[in-house]
Chains A and B, each alone.
Chain A
Amino acid sequence: MRKYLCIYKSEVMSNMQYVLNIIISMITYIVLIFILFNLWNYIYQDENQIINGYTKNQMIWYVIITEIIWSATAGRKLCQKICDDVRGGNIAYAMNKPYSYISYILFSHLGETTIKSIVGTIIGMFLGILFLGEFPNISVQGVIIVIISSILAVIINTLLITSIGLFSFFIEDAHPIYWLYSKIILILGTMFPIEFFYGILGRVISFSPIYVTCYGPAKLFVDFSYKNAICILMAQIIYLFIAWAICYALYRKGVKKLNVNGG
């Protein structure tokens, strides 16, 4: 485990060189929150109106949390890195080191995510207080559980995106799959909570990765209950194992097909 913590630490140290870049990259995040704030302000004509179980403030805080998780995960960059590693042959140089490539990717990506999450959380909380003037009604224990759930969400998301990246072993380019995944997450989980979708679609989403990667932590933040917390954390643990198993299976099958460019 020491080696993986060292990978994590090295990535954090490396990313500290780019704090200013990370802050600048958050401009998109700020603009998006501002647009969504105005959109929900328009939809909710009355402060006390409830739509699908959410007040206006809960809705906006929901979007702030899901956006923090999604932008901190930086999935496109991760998918790009794995695709490049596989297609360009760089994976070969990670393979002859005594660590697991999947764990290496996970811990190094978490290192990158850490700084982004901290910056994103500070900006998100500031925007929330600025626009809404109040914090959701949540206890300190609740906040700790939300943080744990958010970390699990980022880990699961990282593993799922890693799986998509590993498809490069079998197809020329895994980006179209990532594009599809990111758009589904954006529409069905980041911008709208599951309760906004009825019938079969709602049920499918509640069993999909959307439930554990964005809906779960955000729902707990805006409407905390221990019953929900247990459900969401259990689902996240199950998904963590599933995502890990998918990554591992794809990697094991993929390396046997590896055809490193230039030999």
Chain B
Amino acid sequence: MKVIAVKNLNKRFKVKVKEKGLKGSLKSIFKPKIQVVEAVKDISFEVEEGEVIAFIGPNGAGKSTTIKMLTGILYPDEGSINVLEINPTKQRKKLAYEIGTVFGQKEQLWMHLTVYDNFKFFGAIYDISEKETEKRIEELIELFDLQNIINTPVRNLSLGQRIRCEIAASLIHRPKILFLDEPTIGLDPVVKESIRKLIKKMNKEYHTTVFLTSHDISDIEKLCKRVIIINNGRIVMDDSMSNLKYHYMDKKVIQVKLRNKVDFSNVKGIKVLKEKENNYQIEIDTKETDLTKILKLINPENIVDINISNIPLEEIISQIYRKE
């Protein structure tokens, strides 16, 4: 079942442009120049129920604008959006009962109230009865392991604990779709990992569809089965994570320490990334040459140490951004 359907979506912003210096400032008072920025250009995609989907792109690509249109905050200029059979532009309040949002850089919890009082507050906001709210709070305490912090004021929590509580609070009304905008930003690797585990667990236990944006490639690699890449307002790739990796797996990186120097300069399909004394880091395009040929060229008896690895996903995604 499709939970999100977006067709030919466009969004433009009007931005004031000012020439440099005092003269420019004065000029802009009497003759303001307005530039139209196309934030989102003709994008279309669909999301199935229960999917964990990554919606990624470089800064200013149009990710947050798209999320804000999907949640009814921004009005699209053209195109149609259907989220859970609801038009977010016309029925924002109705949609709010069905979706949850966590914006890593913004707090939605009341800083001076305890975690428990915050959960009670969110229960009331979503019209959940007192008894049911209590039941759900108990569930969330267990799922998110909040026993030790449930009666602590939010202002006294660490960033990791707060994000955990933000996600828990956004689940009190059991949303069908959860929009996570950079949920792990600013967290240390251990806390990041625990947040990822929670998202996985929540997707499994409640079958919640997760729409995730993140600049942290590990978030995407570990959580998502499908990736949509957006750049300059356009979708440049919409594919499964396995396909994404498979298509770019024709490139390998070899780090090798040799006894004697080898000349790689005229070999087709090889790019020397680093060279220092007898240590080399080379990139092999397996479509043009294969590893056996390279190993023969190096000569196995000449090798002191070797490491062959795939190109990191981060590099793959950067390459896609750069191509655009």
User: Which residues of A come within 8 Å of B, CB atoms?
Assistant: 2-3, 5-7, 10, 13-14, 17, 90, 92-93, 95-99, 255-256, 258-260, 262-263
Q: How far is the CA of A120 from the CA of B125 in the complex (A)?
A: 31
What is the size category of the interface that chain B forms with chain A? Answer: 20 to 34
Indicate the member of A93, A96, A98, A99 with the most B CB atoms within 10 Å: A96
Pick the residue among B96, B110, B124 that contacts A14 (CB under 8 A): B110
Q: Does B92 contact A (CB under 8 A)?
A: yes
Q: Contact check: which of B63, B68, B110, B125 meets A260 at CB < 8 Å?
A: B68
Q: Which residues of B contact A92 (CB under 8 A)?
A: 68, 73-74
Could you tell me if B63 and A263 are in contact, using CB atoms closer than 8 angstroms?
yes
List 27 contacting pairs A-B, 8 Å CB cutoff, sorted by A. A2-B124, A7-B125, A10-B110, A14-B110, A14-B111, A17-B112, A92-B73, A93-B108, A95-B72, A95-B73, A95-B92, A96-B71, A96-B73, A96-B92, A96-B96, A96-B99, A98-B97, A99-B93, A99-B125, A255-B75, A258-B73, A259-B13, A260-B65, A260-B73, A262-B64, A263-B65, A263-B68
Contacts of B113 in A (CB 8 A): 10, 13-14
Identify the closest chain A residue to B153 (Cβ): A17
Contact B117 A10 (CB under 8 A): yes
CB distance from B6 to the nearest CB of A (A): 16
**B62: interface (CB < 8 Å):** yes
User: In the complex, what residues of A have CB within 8 A of residue B92's CB?
Assistant: 95-96
Contacts of B106 in A (CB 8 A): 90, 93
Instruction: Specify which chain B residues have a CB less than 8 angstroms from the CB of A99 in the assembled complex.
Output: 93, 125
B126 contacts A by Cβ under 8 Å: yes
B39 within 8 A of A: yes
The A-contacting residues of B in range 83-98, CB under 8 angstroms, are 92-93, 96-97
Give me 6 other A-B pairs in contact (C-beta within 8 A), A3-B127, A98-B125 excluded: A90-B106, A92-B68, A95-B72, A96-B101, A98-B93, A258-B74
> Closest CB-CB distance, A251 to chain B, in whole Å?
13
- A172 vs chain B, min Cβ distance (A): 9
Nearest CB on B from A176, distance (A): 15
Min Cβ gap B22→A in Å is 19
Docked CA distance A92–B179 (Å): 14
Cross-chain contact A6 with B75 (CB below 8 angstroms): no
Q: Which B residues, 108 to 154, have Cβ-Cβ distances below 8 Å to chain A?
A: 108, 110-113, 117, 120-121, 124-127
Are B101's CB and A93's CB within 8 A? yes
- Which residues of chain B have C-beta atoms less than 8 A from A14's C-beta? 110-113
B321 within 8 A of A: no
Asked if B248 is at the interface (CB within 8 A of a chain A CB), the reply is no
Partner of A10, one of B75, B121, B127: B121
- A97 lies within 8 A of B96 (CB): yes
Is B103 among interface residues, defined by CB-CB distance under 8 A?
yes
| Min CB gap B196→A, angstroms | 23
For the complex formed, measure the closest distance between the CB of A68 and the CB atoms of chain B, giving whole angstroms. Answer: 25
| A102 → chain B closest CB, angstroms | 13
| A98/B101 contact (C-beta < 8 A), A10-B117, A90-B106, A263-B65 known | no
Q: Which A residues are CB-close (under 8 A) to B73? A: 92, 95-96, 258, 260
**Partner pick for A2 among B67, B71, B96, B127, CB 8 A cutoff:** B127
Interface string of B169-208 (1 = CB under 8 A from A): 0000000000000000000000000000000000000000
B194 to chain A, nearest CB (A): 24
Asked if B64 and A263 sit within 8 Å, CB to CB, the answer is: yes
> Of all chain A residues, which has the CB nearest B11?
A263
Q: Is the CB of A6 within 8 A of B124?
A: yes
Min CB–CB distance B173 → chain A (angstroms): 9
In B181-239, the 8 Å CB interface with A consists of none
Task: List the B side residues contacting A5 at CB < 8 Å.
Answer: 124
Contact A3 B124 (CB under 8 A): yes
* B-side contacts of A97, CB under 8 Å: 96, 125
Contact of A13 among B93, B96, B112, B127 (CB under 8 A): B112
Q: Which residue of A is nearest B61, CB measured? A: A263
Nearest first, the 5 closest Cβ-Cβ pairs linking A and B are: A263-B64, A6-B124, A98-B96, A14-B112, A263-B65
Determine the distance from Cα of A69 to Cα of B106 in the docked complex, in whole angstroms: 33
